[in-house]
């Protein structure tokens, strides 16, 4: 099913308002989800709407939160999210970080006690569009076996980075510290597709290609991904005085309760270290150099991070965004949610 970007955003926003979010907050969440779908990152797009709607309807996301910025220094702050929508809290916190970095050269803003926030690159690209460097990390619930372990301890714990070049282009990447994000497993389930045997393990700790049998994810590059996941848990959980490791709340355990998640934004003003134009020129040169690298056998070209989404975005802009038919049917229905997620296993659909 193909739908225009504007129609998809309107459908998502309407559903979230029906669930109980304010018009402003529903609009922000819809914008973040459409941002992901427009890049082809469907694991963080419209497929998440029903889960959010159920949690909102059951008051597990504060409908009208009391957001509060607590300045802790000239370049640091905590953004208290009151278990409101993570998409909204993180957007507002990034706006504060951007202003702080413009004034002081750097900003570190922790978002405290929020719900799920979606694609992190949405927030880092906000900084890049303001000629700043953006970096963000976020904790998530235990789904990943530590290297050498047989049971989950850390979450997929993603990180994102964006840096501006010239002519509105930027380097941007957004990744989980697992071989694949949990949302990719959900996307495979929704399309009844197999997954590579390097993504996850079943209840016996054995590699599986069946997304419905997944009981834990694998860290990227073994001990390296394990170390990155630990670092992110420290920066977005321990550092903010929040639950960490196995104590991070499950997405599905009780949708009537807030999740108390944490996220950390770091924004750097290139002018504090070099001229912003020199920085942008060199990022552009980096892009050009990477494109000029001789491709390996089986590859047509080397792409700079983020460039691979450009063709998808152009296609979707011209022909509409592709979403699964079942998700479209839900969005156009009168159903707010189907009570499908509450108290489910962490590896539920």
Catalytic annotation, residues: 116
Q: Where are the beta strands (DSSP E) in 50-186?
A: 68-73, 76-80, 106-114, 133-138, 159-164, 170-175
Helix, strand or coil, per DSSP, at residue 168: coil
Q: What are residue 159's DSSP bridge partners? A: 137, 175
- Give the DSSP per-residue string, 191-218: TT----TTSEE-TTS-B-S-GGG--EE-
Max Cα distance, the chain (Å): 55
Query: Pick from 110, 92, 104: which is nearest to 132 by CA?
Result: 104
Closest CA to 321 of 94, 70, 42: 42
Element housing 76 (H / E): strand 76-80
- Name the β-bridge partners of 312: none
Please say whether the beta carbons of 262 and 249 come within 8 A: no
In the chain, DSSP finds a helix count (H) and a strand count (E) of 10, 11
DSSP string covering 229-261: HHHHHHHHTGGGT---GGGSPPSSS-TTS---E
Choose among 343, 347, 345: nearest CA to 55: 343
Query: Strand runs (DSSP E) across 165-202, as ranges?
Result: 170-175, 200-201
């Amino acid at each position: 099913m193909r739908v225009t970007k504007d129609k998809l955003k309107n459908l998502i926003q309407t559903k979230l308002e029906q669930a109980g979010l304010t018009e402003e907050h529903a609009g922000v969440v819809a914008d973040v989800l459409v941002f992901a779908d427009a890049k082809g990152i469907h694991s963080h797009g419209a497929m998440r709407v029903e889960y959010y709607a159920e949690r909102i309807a059951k008051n597990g996301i504060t409908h009208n939160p009391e957001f509060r910025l607590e300045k802790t220094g000239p370049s640091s702050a905590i953004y208290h999210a009151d278990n409101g929508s993570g998409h909204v809290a993180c957007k507002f916190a990034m706006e504060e970080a951007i202003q702080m970095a413009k004034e002081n050269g750097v900003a570190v803003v922790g978002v405290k006690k929020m719900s799920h926030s979606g694609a992190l690159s949405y927030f880092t690209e906000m900084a890049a569009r303001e000629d700043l460097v953006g970096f963000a990390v976020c904790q998530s619930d235990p789904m990943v076996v530590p290297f050498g372990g047989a049971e989950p301890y850390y979450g997929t714990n993603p990180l994102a980075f964006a840096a501006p070049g010239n002519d509105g282009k930027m380097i941007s990447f957004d990744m989980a510290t697992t071989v694949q994000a949990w949302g990719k497993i959900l996307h495979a389930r929704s399309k009844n597709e197999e997954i590579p045997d390097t993504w996850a393990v079943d209840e016996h700790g054995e590699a599986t290609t069946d997304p419905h049998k997944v009981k834990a994810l694998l860290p990227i590059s073994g001990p390296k991904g394990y170390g990155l996941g630990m670092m992110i848990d420290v920066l977005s959980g321990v550092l903010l005085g929040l639950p960490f490791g196995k104590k991070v709340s499950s997405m599905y355990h009780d949708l009537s309760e807030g999740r108390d998640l944490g996220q950390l934004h770091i924004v750097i003003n290139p002018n504090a270290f070099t001229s912003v134009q020199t920085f942008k020129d060199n990022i552009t040169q980096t892009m050009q150099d990477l494109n000029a690298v001789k491709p390996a056998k089986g590859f047509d070209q080397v792409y700079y991070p983020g460039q691979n989404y450009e063709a998808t975005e152009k296609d979707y802009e011209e022909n509409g965004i592709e979403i699964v038919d079942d998700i479209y049917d839900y969005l156009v229905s009168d159903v707010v949610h189907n009570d499908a997620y509450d108290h489910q296993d962490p590896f539920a659909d």
